[in-house]
């Protein structure tokens, strides 16, 4: 048997990074076209320097059944118009695969939806774990003033389906209005 060697990784909880990662996915404002309610505000942000929205630090684990993929997701604080920064969100390509998100720092929501219209905003805060069951699309939203940092773990063969959620959108959004968080 050709055994894969066990390994460990170092996570910096203050910086919200995986120190010895193999890959980083960086999504800037320009990667978020079509996702925010206020397209003009997003364009203004892109024109003003296209800031990083979030980074995902990963290890090169085989994307195969039996393995567990894991990453550190670091979503920066900010707003597009009055809507809080968020990730694109996705269903898993193998829709019947779940995921856990352990929040390590910051605050916000894990917004989840089903194809039939169910929608749940689960609060995220340090030391809180959110379970994303099979079939639920999921997106994280940062309502705080520091990065929202989570450890995500999901099956190796899950895959990411961004297309369906781009077409459907999420039924709810999270805004800062009248001095407070509003889910609408």
Which spans in 1-133 are helix H? 39-47
Q: Please count the residues of this chain forming the interface with ligand PAN, following the rule CB under 6 A.
A: 15
Starting at the earlier edge strand, list the strands of the sheet with 137-142. 119-125, 107-113, 137-142
Residue 184 CA to residue 58 CA, distance in Å, equals: 33
Piece in contact with ligand PAN (CB under 6 A), picked from 16-24, 34-42, 81-89, 121-129: 81-89
Q: 42 or 56: whose CB is closer to ligand PAN? A: 56
Q: How far is CA 148 from CA 95, 112, 172, in A?
A: 25, 17, 19
Q: Identify the residue among 35, 87, 106, 143 touching ligand PAN (CB under 6 A).
A: 87
| Residue 28, contacted partner among Zn ion, ligand PAN, none, CB below 5-8 A by kind | none
Name residue, tokens 């995220």.
124
Residue 83 engages Zn ion in binding (rule: CB under 5 A)? no
Residue 59 engages ligand PAN in binding (rule: CB under 6 A)? no
Report which of 100, 74, 102 is spatially closest to residue 16, judged by C-alpha positions: 74
Q: Within 10 Å of residue 48's Cβ, how many Cβ atoms?
A: 9
Piece in contact with ligand PAN (CB under 6 A), picked from 3-11, 40-48, 86-94, 103-111: 86-94
Q: 146 or 177: whose CB is closer to ligand PAN? A: 146
| Through-space distance between the first and last CA atoms of the chain, rounded to whole angstroms | 54
Q: Identify the residue among 85, 99, 113, 130 touching ligand PAN (CB under 6 A).
A: 99
Q: Identify the residue among 72, 89, 99, 108 touching Zn ion (CB under 5 A).
A: 99
Strand partners, 68: 155
Kindly list the residues in this chain that would bind ligand PAN in the complex (CB under 6 A): 27, 56, 71, 73, 87-90, 99, 138, 140, 152, 154, 158, 160
């Amino acid at each position: 048997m050709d055994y894969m060697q066990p390994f460990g990784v170092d996570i910096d909880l203050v910086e919200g990074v995986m120190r010895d990662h193999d890959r980083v996915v960086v999504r800037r404002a320009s990667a978020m076209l079509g996702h925010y309610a206020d397209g003009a505000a997003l364009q203004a942000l892109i024109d003003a320097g296209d800031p990083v929205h979030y980074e995902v630090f990963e290890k090169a684990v085989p994307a195969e059944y039996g393995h567990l993929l894991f990453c550190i997701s670091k979503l920066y604080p900010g707003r597009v118009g009055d809507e809080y920064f968020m990730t694109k969100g996705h269903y898993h390509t193998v829709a019947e695969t779940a995921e856990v998100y352990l929040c390590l720092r910051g605050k916000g929501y894990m917004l989840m939806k089903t194809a039939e219209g169910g929608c749940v905003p689960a609060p995220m805060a340090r030391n809180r774990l959110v379970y994303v069951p099979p079939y639920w699309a999921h997106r994280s939203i940062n309502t705080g003033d520091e990065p929202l940092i989570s450890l995500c773990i999901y099956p190796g063969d899950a895959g990411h389906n961004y297309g369906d959620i781009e077409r459907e959108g999420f039924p709810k959004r999270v805004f800062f209005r009248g001095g407070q968080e509003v889910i609408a």
